[in-house]
Structure 1
Amino acid sequence: MKGTVQFYAALVLLALAFSWSTAYDPAPLQDFCVDLNDTSSAVFVNGKFCKDPKLVKAEDFFFPGLNKPGNTSNREGSAVTPVNVMQIGGLNTLGISLARIDFAPYGLNPPHTHPRATEILVVLEGSLHVGFVTSNPDNRLFTKVLNVGDVFVFPIGLIHFQFNRGNTPAVAISGLSSQNPGVITIANAVFGSNPPISTDVLSKAFQIDANLVKYLQSQF
């Protein structure tokens, strides 16, 4: 199993290398710009402050523990462990990040979008039913069942999901073409916004009764 994990980890790294060469984020104009939230001794670049290059350490490019499973004891039965600029300051301006996604049996990474990144996913353990939906007016669904070693791409900004249809856990690694891809979980955003979206708006948009809208909002 160890050799298998290493092989697919290498596959993801190759994908990330390709992502770096075609990154969505603006290209860097220096070797690196390590994130530093200290306005008194830093330069503001691409949404972050840059640490003085003379003070940069190897730890600024390091993240431990991606081998550890995430806690899937939640109502979705999934856990995302992100490794983006918030976890590795050295990713600032480099246009890449990744994430580990753990699924309990029948766990779901619910429909969501990444507004700033294309995602490439490889399955390390188990089997996943994945898919994405194209933009209006077609809203065409592209879906596939992935097994260990299979890879699938979710284009930037499109709604997509991953679902473990098996009775054993599943694990996947995703590479993303942004240092900070962002995530908008559709149900949370629509029914869990703060303050809530008007019941009249959601009732008309989804063509459902207002009481059902209120019930759905109460769940988020």
Structure 2
Amino acid sequence: MAGVLWMRLAILVFVATAALHPQRSLAADEDPLQDFCVKDTTQKLHVNGFPCKDPAQVQASDFASDSLKKPGNTSNALGVAVTPANVLTFGGLNTQGVSAARIDFAPHGLNPPHVHPRAPEILFLAKGTLLVGFVTSTPDNKLFAQTIQAGELFIFPRGLVHFQLNVGYGAALAFSAFNSQNPGTSQVAKVLFASTPPIDDAVLEKALQLNAADVQRLRSLISKT
């Protein structure tokens, strides 16, 4: 009997607490704004993001940026230049939960398979023709790919591997938007073959069914890309 009474009391306390703190009871943790936030016991204050400028020192120019105004340099092995406008380059975006990027493609240029761990990406093609696509997570690993033309949009879901390839006859230009001030980017090839320190060769050989010579060749190629 006592156990039943204690159970009823616990339920009443839970309901009362939820009623008094409805937002707290329904809300989850905020999304992270960086890759990790290890607790530092020597610091009195550390935030998941960046501290705020004194409002008295804020000016209109803090909310403007020409980050995406100029074309990027596509003279590289991939023929692509990604110019971000995120909180790292545009301070006015701090805490706003948005960012953007400009992507310039040389003919046949490729924005290689990569992921944004903290945001989906919506891409607007301003010029040219792109083959775009993403792959779902396991167990299906299904590819969704489409050729898009200037004026069209494509959405890449958060955290999924995706790519863009210029399949037109000239240069291409796209703009992307994200619902994170710092969505992060991890290129699949660089994560595997150009990490610091390097992933053990035995891991790559077994996971990708490569021999030692293949792993070394790919390390050399991708570190220069």
Same fold (TM over 0.5): yes
2:67, 2:83 within 8 Å by CA — same for their partners in 1?
no
Q: Which has the larger radius of gyration?
A: 2
1:123, 1:149 within 8 Å by CA — same for their partners in 2?
yes
Q: Secondary structure at the match of 1:48?
A: coil
TM-score (structure 1 length as normaliser) = 0.79
Q: Within 1, Cα distance between the matches of 2:216 and 2:67? A: 41
Which amino acid letter does the alignment assign opposite residue 126 of structure 1? G
Could you tell me how far 1:88 is from its partner in structure 2?
Answer: 1.5
Could you tell me how far 1:133 is from its partner in structure 2?
Answer: 0.5
Q: Secondary structure at the match of 2:192?
A: helix
Cα gap change, 1:149 to 1:106, in 2 (>3 Å): same
Which amino acid letter does the alignment assign opposite residue 111 of structure 1? P
Q: Equivalent residue for 1:186? A: 188
Q: Equivalent residue for 1:128? A: 130
Could you tell me how far 1:124 is from its partner in structure 2?
Answer: 0.3
Which amino acid letter does the alignment assign opposite residue 58 of structure 1? A
Any stretches of 5+ residues in structure 1 without a counterpart?
1-23, 27-42
Q: Within 2, Cα distance between the matches of 1:44 and 1:51? A: 15
Q: Within 2, Cα distance between the matches of 1:66 and 1:181? A: 17
Could you tell me how far 1:45 is from its partner in structure 2?
Answer: 4.5
1:83-126 deviations in Å (ceiling 9; x for gaps): 11112111111100000100000000000000001100010000
Which amino acid letter does the alignment assign opposite residue 141 of structure 2? N
Q: Within 1, Cα distance between the matches of 2:48 and 2:200? A: 35
2:119, 2:180 within 8 Å by CA — same for their partners in 1?
yes
1:113-165 deviations in Å (ceiling 9; x for gaps): 00001100010000000000011111110000010111000000000000001
1:8-62 deviations in Å (ceiling 9; x for gaps): xxxxxxxxxxxxxxxx966xxxxxxxxxxxxxxxx85432011111111111111
Which amino acid letter does the alignment assign opposite residue 125 of structure 1? K
Q: Within 1, Cα distance between the matches of 2:73 and 2:168? A: 18
Q: Within 1, Cα distance between the matches of 2:187 and 2:50? A: 25
Q: Equivalent residue for 1:14? A: none
1:206 aligned residue (205, 208, 212) = 208
Which amino acid letter does the alignment assign opposite residue 163 of structure 1? L
Q: Secondary structure at the match of 2:170?
A: coil
Q: Equivalent residue for 1:170? A: 172
2:68, 2:84 within 8 Å by CA — same for their partners in 1?
no
1:148-204 deviations in Å (ceiling 9; x for gaps): 111000000000000001230000000011000000001011011112111111010
Q: Secondary structure at the match of 1:105?
A: coil
Residue 97, structure 1, aligned to residue 115, structure 2: no
1:45-81 deviations in Å (ceiling 9; x for gaps): 4320111111111111111152321100011100011
Residue-pair matches, total = 181
Q: CA RMSD in A?
A: 1.6
TM-score (structure 2 length as normaliser) = 0.77
